[in-house]
């Protein structure tokens, strides 16, 4: 058995209020604690991926805030208190300061994070 806290999870990306922490959780899954400040739009960082959208599935819980999830077929807004599944092909935008915990397949998630870091560099 393993447990994770935000404070003990290594920072993967930070800056401009963004705090993105991730750690392999075992079983080929990664846990991520993410703070997105209001106005954060991940779409520009996803450019170059298939459909310019995140190809990795995520299961998570939104503790605080509101997030608009855009897909090739439309958009949906998620609010604090909701658990979610975001399938491949999405781009999030924080409508309010938002805090989530997510679980994602490690290899797919690592590829997306590496792409996002390359876009920022």
Taking the CA atoms of the chain, what radius of gyration do you get in angstroms? 13
Confidence class for position 92, pLDDT limits 50, 70, 90: very high
CA distance 91 to 55: 10
CB 21 within 8 A of CB 6: yes
What pLDDT is attached to residue 120?
Answer: 75
CB 60 within 8 A of CB 102: yes
Please name the residue that has the structure tokens 């439309």.
74
As a whole number, mean pLDDT of residues 70-82 equals 96
Query: Quick check: 89 pLDDT over 90?
Result: yes
What pLDDT is attached to residue 121?
Answer: 67
In this predicted model, what pLDDT tens digit does every residue of 14-55 receive, in sequence order?
Answer: 988 999 999 998 889 999 999 999 999 999 999 999 999 999
Q: Which domains does the chain have, with CATH numbers?
A: 14-120 (2.60.120.10)
Is the pTM higher than 0.85?
Answer: yes
| Residue 66: closest CA among 54, 46, 86, 82 | 82
């Amino acid at each position: 058995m393993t447990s994770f806290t935000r404070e003990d999870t290594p920072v993967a990306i930070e800056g401009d209020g963004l705090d993105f922490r991730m750690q392999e959780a075992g079983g080929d899954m990664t846990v991520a604690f993410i703070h997105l400040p209001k106005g954060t739009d991940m779409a520009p960082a996803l450019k170059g991926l298939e459909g310019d959208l995140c190809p990795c599935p995520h299961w998570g819980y939104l503790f605080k805030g509101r997030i608009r999830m855009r897909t090739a077929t439309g958009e949906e807004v998620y609010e604090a208190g909701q658990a979610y599944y975001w399938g491949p092909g999405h781009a999030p935008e924080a409508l309010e300061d938002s805090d989530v915990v997510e679980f994602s397949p490690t290899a797919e998630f690592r590829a997306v994070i590496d792409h996002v870091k390359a876009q920022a560099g």
